[in-house]
Amino acid sequence: MSRKRSAPTGEPDPFSEHELQAWRSLLRLYSTVMRRVDRELERTHGLGNTEYGVLVVLVNAPERSLRLGELAARNMASPGGMSRIVDRLEALGLVERRPAPDDRRGAVVRLTDPGVGKLRELQLTHHRIARELFLGRLSERELVRFAELAERALPGVATSSVWAASGEPG
């Protein structure tokens, strides 16, 4: 693949015009949509994207439960950061934490029934904003093509239902 270089700017290995346009659009799209989703979730429900992500991962886990470390990995968070998020969600009755049955030093986090109910409320807002700013502006064909391109760029990103513990698609 040939890359046309822009005028020398002192930047090492600069992006081509098309690379820059694609990269900038990816970052701006993600940032704009996620900031708006976070703001609306906070305003409407008192929880943000971070908490939403935890609830979504748990609702899709076997028995709605995961070890704290696995929950952190799937949310691309540190174990300490995830522990603080779980503390907040536990105080609201949305999750419960208990010792891991096979290792008492570890903890298992389980999504409660009220947590599922809260997640469903959050999903209404999340889906509305995602459709308003992105999904609803593309045809079915364009959505399929977008996912195909994302999958080509990073295999597993569109097709894997679970992110691997490494933070890479599984």
Domain contains 140: yes
Over residues 137-149, mean pLDDT: 97
- Give the predicted TM-score (pTM) of the model: 0.83
Contacts of 37 (CB under 8 A, 6+ apart): 49, 125, 126, 129, 130
CATH code of 139's domain: 1.10.10.10
Structural domain of 128:
17-153
Q: In one letter, which amino acid is 6?
A: S
CA distance 109 to 86: 8
The count of structural domains within the chain is 1
Scored b (16 or more CB within 10 A) or e, 124-140 reads ebbeebbeeebeeeeee
DSSP conformation class of 16: P
Q: Does residue 2 lie within any of the structural domains?
A: no
Q: What is the pLDDT of residue 102?
A: 84
Whole-number pLDDT of residue 7: 56
The stretch 82-88 carries a mean pLDDT of: 96
Write down the pLDDT at residue 5: 55
pLDDT of residue 164: 54
